[in-house]
Amino acid sequence: MRGLVAILRREFASRIDSASALVVTLVFAVVAQGLFFLLGHPVGSLQLPSFWEGRTASLQVVFAWLPLLFVGFVPALTMAAWADERAAGTEELLLAWPVSGAKAVVAKFLGVWLFLGLALLITVVPLALVVASLGDLDWNVVWCGLFGAFLLGGACAAIGLFLSALFREQLAAYLASVLVLGLLWVGGLLVPSLPPEWAEFVYYASPYAHFFDSAARGILDARDLVYHGTLMTAGLTANTLLVEGRRWK
């Protein structure tokens, strides 16, 4: 347990101390707030006006954009987690610690996930306070949306960390993660144009079914926990097998 906590603290601190991670987080927050106040959500079946246009005390616009924002933001947090270790030759040193590959994987994941949760709070809570000062904001929906976004971010982080472990170059890891997460997001947009036998499968494999139509609207569904938990477990398991395989080469 001590080794897991040490790696977790190192991963979390490395992002707090990283100028690039802080800049990416600032860009994430500014873009989310700009979309909320100025653009709204004109994409797909969920058409929503901007805050100033609709004048509705709701954060649904920013929650609607979060899955797409995660496509660019989460890979920026995960791309260096393993790729940088391999490029610098420190992966062997890390795995020489008295800690299993599984614990190292989980520790890195928790470090990224906690930082992502902090970024979400920094982004969403100030928006909620502004909206609440101007109208009757339903805080239950806000906290439910944040919880759902935190789960979705964890699933994205698990996928991104696995892909980071596949590459030595950070850019390659970033682009691979953007591609995979982008396909999950785009899949939800394509549902109306797909044959019925494919539409249901693609819908339930995308964030639309497990965030847009539930947590983002203030609804907690056990199926969403299963979905995000499955993605996290699959990503972390694949990551562990890959890392352990290199340990014994």
pLDDT in tens, 188-241: 777 777 777 777 787 787 777 788 778 888 888 888 899 999 999 999 999 988
Sign, Cα dihedral of 217, 207, 235, 3: negative
Banded model confidence at residue 1, pLDDT cuts 50, 70, 90: low
Looking at residue 112, what DSSP letter applies? Answer: H
CA-to-CA distance for 85 and 74, rounded, in angstroms?
18
Percent pLDDT > 70 in the chain is 90
Strand, coil or helix: what is 99?
Answer: coil
Would you say the pTM of this structure is higher than 0.85?
yes
Banded model confidence at residue 29, pLDDT cuts 50, 70, 90: very high
Do residues 190 and 167 make contact, with C-beta atoms less than 8 angstroms apart?
no
Q: At what angle do helices 60-88 and 19-34 cross, to 10 degrees?
A: 160
